[in-house]
Structure 1
Amino acid sequence: MTATEPQLATTTPDVRALQEQYRKVVIPAAAKFLQEEISANELRDLWRPYYFETFHAYDLTVEHAWRESSGSDGVIEESYPTADPKHETALAHFPVSIAHNNLDRLIEVLAVELGENTIGATKLHERKVDFAHMIDHLDELMAFLAD
């Protein structure tokens, strides 16, 4: 941890708090986007505070949990993580981080493609399906980890 990184009270990622904000912010924004009530740019504007603040804090906790359990210094390692019970917490939360980053990329792609248009203007209709599935399954993943 560096002096510029926030001090974290725990190295156990709080997926419940993340999911609470996801359900409060992201799911309603996604529903409006899928119902063609808001543009791709408006979706991105609603997504960004959640992603860069709420999710980023969670993601840092996942990273710190990994570093604590593995002794990693943050340098990319040449091999895959070992199947060691001490890595269980961090490894369980990596998919949530990866899914959020993938969703961020998709939202950026939609914003570049559509701008002020709604999802109805896309020429690649599978993006609408992909977006809906990602929103739904990310919520399910967080619910699974919260139990």
Structure 2
Amino acid sequence: MTMTAPQVQAGPPDIGPLLAEYRATVIPATAEFLDDAITATQLRDRWRPYYFDAFRRYDLTVERSWREASGTDGRIDSGPPTADPRLTTPLTHFPVSIAHNNLDRLIEVLAVELGDRTAEHTEIHERLVDYAHMVSGLTKLMESLTD
């Protein structure tokens, strides 16, 4: 897969475009995977363009927002985050980034376990439950940031 540098959004992170792409790509792929209509490899193949394009642009915007608000160069300071109102926006969006990265790892695990087989062939059904809950929770989280 060839990667190009994604465009970083100007201004604060905008969840709207990401949520729209998520609904158009991830939700249908999830439904098809859990209904055994596509394989784990096909799920991963649908996820990757979304993750490496739409999500990556959003994630870079969150990172830029953090750097601008905190005045840091990207290094992580030890200790808890400073209770500074300037950091509210990036800190509000960090959970979306973390959840996407966790979801990416789980999709990779499913693809390694199942490959070209469907969800019904898993030996660890809890992974499917985890996957469904993660997608549902991430949807609700992103929707909460549109208000």
Common fold, TM-score beyond 0.5? yes
Distance 1:6 1:42, change over 3 A: closer
- Aligned letter for 1:85? P
Structure 1: stretches of 5+ with no match in the other structure? none
Q: 3-state SS of the aligned residue for 1:78?
A: coil
Asked if the contact 1:25/1:46 (under 8 Å) is kept, the reply is yes
Q: 3-state SS of the aligned residue for 2:117?
A: coil
Asked if the contact 1:41/1:115 (under 8 Å) is kept, the reply is yes
- Listed as ranges, the matches of 1:67-78 within 5 Å are 67-78=67-78
**How far off its partner does 1:7 sit?**
6.3
1:18 aligns with 2:37: no
Name the residue aligned to 2:116: 116
Q: Distance in 2 between matches of 1:6 and 1:131?
A: 27
Distance 1:9 1:41, change over 3 A: closer
Q: Distance in 2 between matches of 1:106 and 1:144?
A: 23
Q: Distance in 1 between matches of 2:94 and 2:32?
A: 28
Aligned length: 144
| Residues 100-130 of structure 1, C-alpha deviations (whole Å, 9 max, x = no match) | 0000000000000000011111110000100
| Residues 26-68 of structure 1, C-alpha deviations (whole Å, 9 max, x = no match) | 0000000000000000000000000000000000000000000
- Listed as ranges, the matches of 1:5-84 within 5 Å are 8-84=8-84
Q: 3-state SS of the aligned residue for 2:142?
A: helix
Q: Give the TM-score of the pair, scaled to structure 1.
A: 0.94
- Aligned letter for 2:94? F
Q: Percent identity of the aligned residues?
A: 60
Task: Report runs of 4+ in structure 1 exceeding 2 Å deviation.
Answer: 4-9
**How far off its partner does 1:75 sit?**
1.5
Q: Distance in 2 between matches of 1:21 and 1:5?
A: 18
Distance 1:64 1:32, change over 3 A: same
Q: Distance in 2 between matches of 1:37 and 1:108?
A: 18
Name the residue aligned to 1:100: 100
Asked if the contact 2:6/2:53 (under 8 Å) is kept, the reply is no
Q: Distance in 2 between matches of 1:77 and 1:114?
A: 39
Asked if the contact 2:9/2:57 (under 8 Å) is kept, the reply is no
Structure 2: stretches of 5+ with no match in the other structure? none
1:143 aligns with 2:143: yes
| Residues 70-92 of structure 1, C-alpha deviations (whole Å, 9 max, x = no match) | 01101222222111110000000
